[in-house]
Amino acid sequence: MAKYGLHRTPAANVAETLRLGETLINAALAEPEIVTTVDSITGMTIWNTQEDEITGLFLLVPVTEAGRAAVEDGTFTPGDPAIRHIAPANTPIFGVYCGIYAGATRTARKSVLMAAGDLRLNAFAPVPTYARGATEDGARSMLTLGYRPLQGGLPDLFVSDPMGE
C-alpha cells in the first residue's frame, strides 16, 4: 500500500478519514470506534493518503467463511460487522469486503485505484472481493477492475470472483 501513497490510519485520524469518505460518497460510513475496533482485529482495515491533508481513503474488512456468506445473502452489516464475520490478522480469509476506496484529488484517486487493483491481483486473488457501488464513478471503477454486479446480497453489491493461478 505504501508504494501507492497509502498508509495505515492512526486511531487519532480515523474520524477525519471517515468524514472525508462520507463527504465523497454523500453517505454515512461506520462510526470511528467501530472502524478502530475492526482495524485492531484485522490489522489492515483503514488506510489513507495525505498530501497537505487527508485526501483519500481505503476501508476493507477481510471476512471469515460466515462473513462471506453474510455478504452474499445480505445479512452482513458493513457499518457494524458481527465479530464472527471479521477475519482476525494472520488467520485464513474467505473474502474481502471493501467499504470504500475514494479520493478527493486526482492523485488520491489514482493512489486508491492502483492499490485496489494491486491488492485484488496480488493479495486477495484466491478469494472473492466485494464492494458496493456507492457512486456512479465507484461502480464504473469496479467494472473497470473486473467486478460484476451480484444479486441477492447487499444493495448495489459487486463482486470480483476468485482468480485462478
> Does the pTM exceed 0.75?
yes
Q: What is the dihedral of CA 125, 131, 12, 109, to 10 degrees?
A: 80
Q: Which CATH superfamily is domain 2-160 in?
A: Gcn5-related N-acetyltransferase (GNAT) (3.40.630.30)
Residue-wise pLDDT tens digits, 19-72: 999 999 998 999 999 999 999 999 999 999 987 899 999 999 999 999 999 999
Say if residues 134 and 27 touch (Cβ distance below 8 Å): yes
Residue-wise pLDDT tens digits, 108-161: 999 998 998 899 889 999 999 998 877 787 788 778 878 899 988 877 899 999
Strand order in the sheet with 129-132: 6-8, 46-50, 54-63, 95-103, 129-132, 157-160, 148-149
The pLDDT of residue 111 is 93
